[in-house]
Amino acid sequence: MTNQNETPIYDAIQQYIKNRIVSFDVPGHKQGKGHKDLVEAFGTKCISMDLNSSKPLDNLTHPTSSIRRAEDLAAEAFNAGHAFLILNGTTAAVQNMIFYCCRKNDKIILPRNVHKSVINAMVICGAEPVYINPGVNTEFGISLGMSIEDIKKTVRDNPSAKAILVNNPTYYGICSNLKEIVRIAHNAGMLVLVDEAHGTHLYFGDDLPISGMEAGADIAAVSIHKTGGSLTQSSMLLVSDKIDAEDMRQTINLTQTTSGSYLLMASLDIARKNLFLNGKDIFKKVCNLAEYARNEVNKIGGFRAFGNEIINGDTVYAFDKTKLSIHTRAMGLAGIEVYDILRDEFGIQIEFGDIGNILAIISVGDRELEIERLLGALSEIHRRFRKEPMNMLEHEYINPLVIMSPQKAFYSKKRALPIEDSAGHISAELVMAYPPGIPVLAPGERITEEIIDYVRYAKEKGCAMMGTKDETMNNIETVEE
């Protein structure tokens, strides 16, 4: 067992600063000496740690000393064959795992309720999606996990597919039967890629759904910055010991910055130490806070905070109880409306609101005090804002009609059409509410009246709609046929 108390990147930075090295390299602010405003904005300590790769500080793309050591410690902490520090968000981690196993025209099996980074990876590398419709919980209007029967059938029908990609968990905290998916995939010679943007805590807490590495998955993209306590944008890519780590590094280095931020890297190092040493206690507290909040929300009336009771042994194989997902439709309010009221009237910013639900992230940094504020605000919303539910859209998930690959559609000759007149055409763009960033339409899919209705409704309710070239989303780029 190596010493998880170490923070080799942070320590190397501190030594570098102590050595008072005179800088004739980048960054040009020279530890803030050339830019007083920057020091005032961020503080001396922070700016003096914003350094460039060099022998004493190692190099992210070819690490041999402190960064290498941090990778080894992270691999041990996450029980992985190897861990890579990723600095362009989990977007980059997700894309690297797809680039690693898919070339042009290779098939990849995946649920359609993936983050946009997955679809954009296919635009870049030319992989062809074989979508599995996730289960849908009609009461809450949310997408669930993939059923094992669907996985088996899809694997049988597509024996040449290179990999199966799994959300573990989804934004709402829902997990598929990952261990069984791994078994089926490996028997068919396919790799298992896990999007764990919302799953860092699964590696450290007790009594939580199984993590990707523990389930025997091959590669996992883990957002340490979301629930693990590192700085925004810092992430990790984990590989099992069956994957050649240096091959994976070659893939990562196709797009990895050559100017890795030492602030982000040090934050990963410090977060890993904290998670390893204190994770059990931290996530026990997080689970208790979330369970308490769930029970109290359900006493208010109108709102419904769902939990373990939605587990059904298949499309909800396990539930991540740290997620406080609350259904709002019975209040006569869309999730996005509650999201806006919480911020505008009560000064509370939650993770997202979609058309039927809100999600409050409870994490390392939360205390009882803030939970009570949220509960108080939800009670007030129930008293002041609830109305009869009328003309409310029921669900988020729309079965995609895939006509061509995302890459072919994205790079096709395009024609902009008013979105209201675009039914029947093929989209050349993504359409989504962000967050959660799960596209309702992806390049290569047929636009339908149902999708147009969804976009109209989501805009009307105040969702931030993104993905189209036209910022107003009045027009959409379609494939010229």
Ligand X SMILES: Cc1ncc(COP(=O)(O)O)c(C=O)c1O
Q: Applying CB under 6 A, which residues contact ligand X?
A: 89-91, 94, 115, 117, 167, 171, 195, 197, 223, 235, 437
Rounded CA gap, 232 and 224, in Å?
9
Cβ neighbours of 89 (radius 10 Å): 19
Phi then psi for residue 353, to 5 deg, are -135, 130
Smallest distance, ligand X to C-beta of residue 124, A: 15
Please check whether residue 70 is in contact with residue 9, taking contact to mean a CB–CB distance below 8 angstroms. yes
Residue among 95, 86, 89 nearest 121 (CA): 95
Smallest distance, ligand X to C-beta of residue 44, A: 28
Rounded CA gap, 149 and 153, in Å?
6
Which residue's CB atom is positioned nearest to ligand X? 89
> 430: which 2 tokens?
């993504």
Smallest distance, ligand X to C-beta of residue 343, A: 19
Burial class (CB in 10 A: 0-12, 13-18, 19+), 424: exposed
Rounded CA gap, 141 and 355, in Å?
9
**Nearer to ligand X (CB atom), residue 115 or residue 414:** 115
Smallest distance, ligand X to C-beta of residue 115, A: 3
Smallest distance, ligand X to C-beta of residue 39, A: 28
Rounded CA gap, 412 and 427, in Å?
10
Burial class (CB in 10 A: 0-12, 13-18, 19+), 317: buried
Smallest distance, ligand X to C-beta of residue 117, A: 5
**Nearer to ligand X (CB atom), residue 196 or residue 477:** 196
| Maximum C-alpha span of the chain | 68
Smallest distance, ligand X to C-beta of residue 234, A: 9
Smallest distance, ligand X to C-beta of residue 207, A: 23
Q: How many CA atoms lie within 13 A of 298 on its CB side?
A: 12
**Which neighbouring-strand residues pair with 465?**
433
Rounded CA gap, 202 and 11, in Å?
28
Please enumerate in sequence order all residues whose Cβ is within 8 A of that of 12, keeping only pairs 6 or more positions apart, or say none. Answer: 56, 57, 58, 65, 66
Smallest distance, ligand X to C-beta of residue 91, A: 3
